[in-house]
Amino acid sequence: MAAPIIETCHVACCANRTPNVLSWGRGGLIAYGTCNSVALYDPQEKCVVAVLNGHTGRVNTVQWVHREDCVSLILVLSKAYVLCLCPLPQFKQYVECVGHTGPVCAVDAIHLDNNKLLIASTASDSTVKLWLYTGSKAECTHTISFGSGFMMDVSLAWLPGSRVPILACGGDDCRIHLYAQCNGQFRKVLSLQGHEDWIRGVEWACVDGDLLLASCAQDCLIRVWRLVAKSRTKRNAQEERTIRMSEDVFTLTQNAFAVTLESVLAGHENKVYGVHWQPPVIKGGDQHQALSLLSASMDKTMILWAQEEGSGVWVEQVRVGEVGGNTLGFYGCQMSPDGSMILAHAFHGALHLWTQSHEWRPGVVISGHFNAVQDLSWDPEGEFILSVGSDQTTRLLTPWKRMDQTQPTWHEISRPQIHGYDMQCLAMVGRFQYVSGADEKVLRVFRAPRNFVENFANISGTPLAKLLASSDTVDQPEGASTPALGLSNKAVFQGTAPSDLTPKTNEEEGTGFNSVSDRYQESYFHPLTLNEPPPEDHLLQNTLWPEVQKLYGHGFEMFCLASDSGRTVVASACKASKAEHAAVLLWSSTSWRQLQALPCHSLTVTQMAFSPNGLFLLAVSRDRTWSLWKRDDPAPHFSLYTSTRKDTAVHTRIIWSCDWSADNKYFVTSSRDKKVIILHQQGLSVVSRGIIRPCSSILDVGDSATAVSFCPILCPGNSYLLAVGLESGQVLLYKWELSEEPAGASDWTRYGETDSSQSHSLTVKRLRWRPRAGRAGQGDEEEGEGSITAAGSSWVQLASAGADHSVKIFNINRLAV
C-alpha cells in the first residue's frame, strides 16, 4: 500500500461556548463541537482521532446515543436549526432533521426496537420536537410548544416496568415538565416545582427499577427526584401513620406513578450548568447504574456526589476546580464510562480533566483557541509553534513524548500573552522572543522567562544548556504576571511578586485572601517545575512571558508582521484606507527604534515576507499590487526595487499572501482572484533595479487563495513544493518546476490535497512550513542537518491556522510522488 502524502499530525481545537456541546461515549471517545465541526478526542492517546466536517453552521449540541447494552450507536449533533444523525462507525452519512426555526440547544435520544431511535430536541423557537429515526430517514412525530418560554435541556427514559417513553424538560419557568407517550402522542403528565431560577440541566438514571431525575439550575442548587411505579394495594393503618414525603401522582394507561423529591444538594456558589450521572455498565448481562452524580458550576468547580453508606444521605464526595484567573466557570461536565476520569468544559472553551489514581489529580488534555486563529510561526529550530487568535491569546504548542509512548503528542505548554484586544499577527525574533500585533496601534515585544526555558527543556527533552545558550540569560526574569485591569505582562524575578498582587499573610487574614471572591481574582506568578504539559489554570496564570518593549508609530490597528532571517529587522503594517497610513514601518530588533517608513501602497498591506538571505522585503496589499524592497548599504536601509501598478498587475483582486523560495530565486503571490503566480528576478545580486516578470504559468486553484507558502526543503530534481490555503478551508499541495515556455499550467503538478476530514471548515488564514526537514519531536536521527538540501527524512511538516478556531499540523511525505 502506497504511503499517504498528507497525514494529520495534530489538531488543536477547543469546545464551542455552549452548555451541551460535549459528550463522552461509552467507547471512550469524547465528542465535542468546535466551530462548525465535531472533534473526536481520545483521552488515553491524548489527541484528536477524527474531525467531522461538512456543516455550515456552529455546532451547538453533541450527544452520543447508546443501546441498552451500553454500546455507542450513533452521534447526534445540532448545527443552527438542524439536527444531524451520524451513524457509527464511519460517520460518513448524515441524516438531517429539519423543522426547528431557532437554534437547537439540547438533544437526547433512546434506542427503540429494530434499530430505531426516539429523539427529543429543544430549540430557541420555544418548542420541543420528537423525532423517529429509522436508519435512513427521520421524521418529526410530535411538537410541544411552550409559548414564549424556552426549554434549556431535555432527557428521555423508559417508565419503570414498561416500554413507555417519558420526557423531562427543564426551562426558564423554573419547572420540570414531564411528558409521557400515550396512544402514539406525548401528553403532559406532571410539572415539578422547587427550583427558583432557570433550569439548566436534567438527566434520568435507572436504579433498581426506579427512575432518578437529577436537575440543576441557576439557583445554585441540584435536586434529585425519584419516579416509581405506584402500588395499587391499600396501605395498612401503621403505614398510614408513617411520616412520608409528599408525592405527585399521575396515571397512564391504568398504571399509577409517583414522583418524590429525594434530595436537595447545596454546595455550589454560582449557577449550576451541568449535571450527569455516572454511565451504567453491564455486569453479568444486566445493566448496573452506580449512584454517583457529577455537577459543574460557574463557580469553577465540579462536585462528585454520592449516597452515604448506611444513612443513604447524598453528600459531597469530591470537589475539584480552578482557583485564580479572570475567566468564567464551567459550562458542562462529563464522566468517563468507568468513572475514573471527569471532564469539564469552560465558558472559554477550555477542557479541564481530572483523573483518579489514589486521589483526584489534574490530567493532560487538549487545548486550543476559541476564536479564529489569525497567524502562526515556527521557532527557528522548528521545535515549537506560536499562534495568535481573535480570542485575544497567544499560545505555544510543542511535542511531548511520554515514557510509555513511541510517538509524541502536541500540547500547549505556555500562553505567553493574554490580551484585551483581538490578536492579529506575530513574528519570531530569535528563538525565545517575538513581536505581536493586535487590534490596537501598539506593537508589543515579549521574551521568554527562565521558568519557561527550564520547563520546555523538561517537556521536549532538549538539553537545558543548549537552550540557555540560545537565549539571553542576562537579567532574565523568572516569569510574568498581569496587574488587575492591565494589558502589559510585568516581569517577576525570583523571590518577588508584584506588590499590587501579593495576598495578605495568614496572620493578617485567616485564609490569605480578603474574601471568597478575592480567591478567584487575586493571583500572581508561581514558578513551576513541569515534566508534562500544564493544566488550564497554570496556563492562565503561570506561563505568561514578560513584555520587554512597546513600539509606537502606526495610526490604526495592526495587521501583519515579518522579521528577517538574521533577526535584526522587523517590518510591520496596519490597517489603512489611505496611502499615508499604508506605509510599512521597519524596526531594529536590538534598539527597538523605528528605522524607516516604506510608502508605496494605497490600502492595507496584507502580508510581508523577507527573502531568506535578508536582502529583499516583499509586501502585498489590498490595492491588488505588490512591492519589492532591496536592502542597501549601509544596512539596514531599504529602497524600492520594483513594484506593480493596477494597470500592469496580473492579479485583479486583493492579494492575500506571499512567500519566498528557500534559495532566494523566486517569490509567490496568491489572491482572491483564485490565481497563484511565481515570479523571478534575474540577477538578484545586481545592484541596479530590474523588471520582475512571471516565470510560471498562472495557476487557477478554483477558490480564493488566502494563504501560500514555499517548502524550505527542495524536492528531488530541484523542483519546488508549495502549499496553498483556500477560503473553503482546503489545503492544496503543488510541485512547480521551471519550464522554458510554460503553457496551460504544465509547469504545475498537483501533488496532494487535504480530504474533507483534514481540511479546515472555514478560511485558511496562514500556512507555515517547519524550517527544517523531519517531524518535530521525533529525534535528530530523522531531521538530517536541517539545511534546505537535507534529505535525512522524507517527511516535512506544515502548520496551518484557520478561521475555524483550529491549528493543524500535517506530516507531508515529499518523496511519495
Give the per-residue SS3 of 599-647: CCCCCCEEEEEECCCCCEEEEEECCCCEEEEEEECCCCEEEEEEECCCC
DSSP 8-state code for residue 4: P
Whether the predicted pLDDT of 392 surpasses 90: yes
Least confident of 127-131, 448-452, 634-638: 634-638
At residue 40, the 3 state secondary structure works out as: strand
Report the pLDDT value the prediction gives residue 735, as an integer from 0 to 100.
Answer: 92
Which is more confident, 689 or 294?
A: 294
Average pLDDT over residues 88-108: 83
pLDDT confidence tier of residue 372, bands split at 50, 70 and 90 = very high
Cα-based distances in Å from 13 to 59, 86, 92, 327: 13, 21, 21, 18
| pLDDT score of 241 | 52
Residue 623 pLDDT > 90, yes or no? yes
Cα separation, 277 vs 307, whole angstroms: 13
Between 772 and 462, the more confident residue is 772
pLDDT at position 82 is 82
Looking at residue 242, what is its pLDDT? 52
| Contacts of 409 by beta carbon, 8 Å cutoff, 6+ apart | 10, 45, 46, 47, 399, 400, 402
Q: Are 48 and 367 in contact (CB under 8 A)?
A: no
Calpha distance 122→106 (Å, rounded)? 5
**Mean pLDDT value across the chain:** 86
Task: Please tell me the least confidently modeled range out of 41-45, 177-181, 616-620, 629-633.
Answer: 629-633
Contacts of residue 547, defined as CB under 8 A and 6 or more positions apart, other chains included, come to: 444, 445, 446, 480, 488, 489, 490
Which alpha helices (DSSP H) does 224-313 contain, by range? 237-241
Q: For the ranges 207-216, 288-297, 652-661, 772-781, which has the lowest average pLDDT?
A: 772-781
Compute the average pLDDT of residues 116-137: 91
Range scoring the smallest mean pLDDT among 78-87, 327-336, 646-655, 679-688: 679-688
CA–centroid distance for 652 within its chain = 35
Give per-residue pLDDT as tens, 59-76.
999 999 887 766 666 777
- Torsion sign, CA atoms 711, 712, 715, 718: positive
Q: Residue type for 176, please?
A: I
Tell me the per-residue pLDDT of 520-559, one tens digit each, with 9 for 90 and over.
333 455 666 778 899 998 898 889 999 999 999 999 999 9
The torsion angle over the Cα atoms of residues 638, 642, 646 and 647, rounded to 10 degrees, is: 160
Q: Percent of the chain at pLDDT above 90?
A: 63
- Mean pLDDT within 632-657: 88
pLDDT band at 473 (very low <50, low <70, confident <90, very high): low
The pLDDT assigned to 513 comes to 30
- Residue 588: is its pLDDT beyond 70? yes
pLDDT at residue 243, as a whole number: 53
Report the alpha-carbon distance of residue 681 to residue 698 in Å, rounded.
17
Q: Which residue has the higher pLDDT, 674 or 476?
A: 674
The per-residue pLDDT for 496 is 55
DSSP-based three-state secondary structure for 775: coil
The beta strand positions in 193-307, using DSSP E, are 199-207, 210-217, 221-229, 247-252, 255-266, 272-277, 281-283, 286-288, 292-297, 301-307
Q: Does the pLDDT value for residue 494 go beyond 80?
A: no
Q: End-to-end CA distance of the chain, in Å?
A: 14
The mean-pLDDT minimum among 409-418, 693-702, 733-742 falls in 733-742
Mean pLDDT of all residues in 677-687: 61
Pick the range with the lowest mean pLDDT from 12-21, 284-293, 799-808.
284-293
Would the pLDDT of 495 be above 70? no
Mean pLDDT of 276-281: 90
pLDDT band at 786 (very low <50, low <70, confident <90, very high): very low
> Is residue 201 classed as helix, strand or coil in its secondary structure?
strand
Residue type, 696: S
| 3-state class (DSSP) for residue 676 | strand
State how far the Cα of 455 lies from the Cα of 534, in Å rounded to an integer.
10
CB 387 within 8 A of CB 376: yes
Query: 465 versus 238: which is more confidently predicted?
Result: 465
The predicted pLDDT at position 521 comes to 36
Is 119 within 8 Å of 109 (Cβ atoms)?
A: yes
According to DSSP, residue 231 is labeled P
- Rg (C-alpha) for the chain, rounded Å, is 30
Q: What is d(CA 46, CA 296) in angstroms, rounded to the nearest whole number?
A: 23
The rounded distance, in Å, linking the Cα atoms of 123 and 133 is 19
Say if residue 220's pLDDT is above 50.
yes
Query: For residue 551, what is the DSSP state?
Result: E
pTM of the shown model = 0.90
Give the CA-trace dihedral at 686, 691, 695, 700, to 10 degrees. 140
Beta strands 795-802; 22-24: pairing state: unpaired
Region of 751 on the Ramachandran plot (φ > 0 left; ψ -120 to 50 alpha; else beta): alpha
